[in-house]
Amino acid sequence: MRLILLGPPGAGKGTQAQRLVQKHGIVQLSTGEMLRAAVAAGTPIGLQAKDIMASGALVPDEIVIGIISDRLDQPDMKKGFILDGFPRTVPQAAALDELLKKKHMKLDAVIELRVNESALLNRVETRVAEMRARGEEVRIDDTPEVLSKRLASYRALTEPLIHYYSERRKLLTVDGMMTIEHVTREINRILAAIGAVEPKGTRKPARKTAPAKRAAAARNPKKAVKAVRGAGKSASTAAKKPAKAQARAAKARGSVTAQKSVKKVMKKRAKR
């Protein structure tokens, strides 16, 4: 299973990604974590990224794609992955498509968590007000003002991906305003519908056809002999049943005849 989760900040992508990871045993790929891991490992691409990150500049797309490429070659990728935080732009999406094509990998779906931005802002405002009322410290990046900027950035850079993946028939939309449980169930339902995961329930075993029975007999000769003997006994018993019935009928007829003969003799004696 290879997925991308799309949606604005606060849509619940991280929560749903973790649930998919736990349920299906796939890997969540975060570009930020991959960059830090590559830098720590001292890989050639990691060393390039290190200097750029140290200067405070954005890491170019080709370096990010290179790090993703190295990560996709790892053994734990066999079951699949969820990309988190990438792609963010249409050029990144096109570069990712090219990378997957080279690796003979297929993207199963892009799941968009569609939410109401006004509702997201209201949630943040309520959460911040409650935290302040309890005397808790509010993170500087967890305020309505910061969220508004992040939403504007999402609309300008990332929202065009919805059209990009829709044209390629990869986009599946889920109502992100539902409860967490409902969103999880809906995601799993549509993944089962497109064949990305096995649907719930097991299929009943199909009845064996005649060729299948012969093949099974060839694999187990002893069972085949028993089956033949059983069939022979059944046929023999079936054949014996009519013969026995005929014998009983003949015996009954003979008994009746004998009774008539005795009656005739008794009548003759009575006349004398």
Catalytic center residues: 13, 88, 127, 139, 150
128 with 138: CB under 8 angstroms? yes
* Closest by Cα among 20, 179, 39 to 115: 179
Quickly list DSSP for the chain.
-EEEEE--TTSSHHHHHHHHHHHH--EEEEHHHHHHHHHHHT-HHHHHHHHHHHTTPPPPHHHHHHHHHHHHTSGGGTT-EEEES---SHHHHHHHHHHHHHTT----EEEEEE--HHHHHHHHHHHHHHHHHTTPPPPTTSSHHHHHHHHHHIIIIITHHHHHHHHTT-EEEEETTS-HHHHHHHHHHHHHHTTSSPPSS-PPPPPPPHHHHHHHHHH-HHHHHHHHHHHHHHHHHHHHHHHHHHHHHHHHHHHHHHHHHHHHHHHHHHH-
d(CA 188, CA 201): 14
Distance CA 130, CA 141 (A): 16
Q: CB within 8 A of 78, min separation 6: which ones?
A: none
